[in-house]
Chains A and B, each alone.
Chain A
Amino acid sequence: MIKVILVGLILVALVWGVRHRDDVGLRAGRRLAAVVLALFGIVAVLAPGFTTSLAHAVGIGRGTDLLLYTLVMTFVFTTAGLYFRCRDIERRLVEITRSVAIREALATAGPPGGRPADPRHES
């Protein structure tokens, strides 16, 4: 049962994170999470027993498993984040390219149909 809830929470967090990906608080949260993860990594290297005791505390058998779970989660969230970021950048590239194309066409041979274009589009 707890597993179902955890998996559900992860999915909800993923969808929510993607939907609010421009949110300032979320951006700050991501950076804080990165810092916490880095600290966690340092502690895990310096004191190997720490991860195991932490794992036991949350009901996971071994410290390595806890590390693996954290790694997988980080990977999933990072991949999703990058995917949507690429998508947004691509959108912008499309807008720029299209707008340049139309301006160029108007500049070389004038408005289509020979009559003056809609003033909104004139540069």
Chain B
Amino acid sequence: MKQEAFGDTWVVVPAFQEESVVGGVVTDLRGAFPNVVCVDDGSRDASAAVAAAAGARVVRHAVNLGQGAALRTGIEFALLDPDARHLVTFDGDGQHRVGDAVRMVELLRTGTYDVVLGSRFLGDATGISRGRRALLRTAAVLTRLSSGLPVTDAHNGLRAMSRAFAEKVEITMSGMAHASEITAAVARLGARWVEVPVTIDYTQYSLGKGQHPINSVNIAFELSVNQFFGSRG
């Protein structure tokens, strides 16, 4: 019964070498969302098979391209379903909660917003370290300055968006810089957006898989190069 309720929603799960957790993530998601597409970003482990066994549609990149590219592929695939009205992005490492995603899609359904962004700083970041918190806060401030969007969390993988927004958002950065690109697209398209508190479960696993703080230097570099020299397909 509950399954049918979200028949118009696709959940995009990017996964790279997540065989030990992605099965659980997909199973949990399928408890609420019938349509889950897992983009296996060139994993050399059994991530694809595990996700498929758990009931996800799997799209496989032959080589590892980065999370931005994986999201793009997942979104493009989901949009091929003419019945898809809402799209959710949900990290494959188990740091998000399905309940949060459900609330976000319900909010989207009210028609008040085009984009619903998850923020761990409005909610509860379980097990976050002081350094990581400071870094993410800084990233949020920089995003705020560059996009003019008063977000509190710039790099949260949990988002919900309408079909119309998903069709228009252009993710050109293959790596982790796509998060800033999405907020920039919200600003550029004048989309109606809101941030909602979500819980991030920082497990030993997700911390190990997460971005190293130094990657922020790479993200900043990629973004400035893109801004300065233009992005080309």
Given known pairs A101-B61, A101-B62, A112-B37, the reply for A91 and B232 (CB within 8 Å) is yes
What count of chain B residues pass the 8 Å CB interface test?
32
- CB of B62 within 8 A of CB of A112, answer no
Judged by a CB distance under 8 angstroms, whether B174 is at the interface is yes
Chain A residues near B39 (CB-CB < 8 A): 101
Query: Smallest distance from the beta carbon of B58 to chain A beta carbons, Å?
Result: 7
Q: How far is the CB of B5 from chain A (nearest CB, A)?
A: 16
Interface of A (DSSP majority class) = helix
Contacts of B134 in A (CB 8 A): none
Q: A19-B229, A98-B76, A101-B73 are in contact. Are A112 and B61 (CB under 8 A)?
A: no
Q: Across the interface, which residues of A come within 8 angstroms of B77, CB to CB? A: 102, 105, 112
Q: Is the CB of B59 within 8 A of A101?
A: yes
B35 contacts across to A, CB distance below 8 A: 112-113
Bound complex: CA of A105 vs CA of B48, how far in Å?
12
Does A84 sit at the interface, judged by CB under 8 A? yes
Q: Please report the C-alpha to C-alpha distance between residue A45 and residue B174 in the assembled complex, in whole angstroms.
A: 47
A82 within 8 A of B: no
Query: B78 contacts A105, CB within 8 Å?
Result: no
Q: Which of A36-44, A53-61, A63-71, A114-122 participates in binding chain B?
A: A114-122
Any A CB within 8 A of the CB of B159: no
A18 partner, pick from B69, B83, B229, beta carbons under 8 A: B229
Question: CB-CB < 8 A to B65: which residues of A?
Answer: 93-94, 97-98
Interface membership of B31, Cβ < 8 A: no
How distant is B8 from chain A, measured CB to nearest CB, in Å? 9
Contact B69 A112 (CB under 8 A): no
Once A19-B229, A91-B232, A105-B77 are accepted as A-B contacts, the answer to whether A112 and B10 lie under 8 Å apart by CB is: yes
Cα distance A112–B57 when bound, in Å?
8
Instruction: State which of A84, A87, A97, A118 has its C-beta within 8 Å of the C-beta of B63.
Output: A97
Counting CB contacts under 8 A, is A111 at the interface? yes
In the complex with contacts A94-B69, A94-B174, A113-B82, A100-B229 CB distance below 8 A? no
Task: Tell me if B82 and A118 are in contact (CB < 8 A).
Answer: yes
Residue of A nearest to B229 (CB): A18
Contacts of B232 in A (CB 8 A): 88, 91
Query: Is the pair B229, A102 in contact by a Cβ cutoff of 8 Å?
Result: no
Are A98 and B82 in touch, CB under 8 angstroms? no
Query: Does A90 lie at the interface of the complex (its beta carbon under 8 Å from any beta carbon of B)?
Result: yes
A104 contacts the other chain (Cβ, under 8 Å)? yes
B72 touches A115 (CB 8 A): no
B58 touches A105 (CB 8 A): yes
Q: A87 CA to B233 CA in the complex, in Å?
A: 10
B230 within 8 A of A: yes
A110: nearest chain-B partner, CB-CB: B57
- 3 nearest A-B pairs in the assembled complex, by CB-CB distance: A113-B81, A112-B81, A105-B59
5 A/B residue pairs, CB under 8 Å, sorted by A: A97-B42, A98-B73, A98-B76, A105-B58, A112-B80
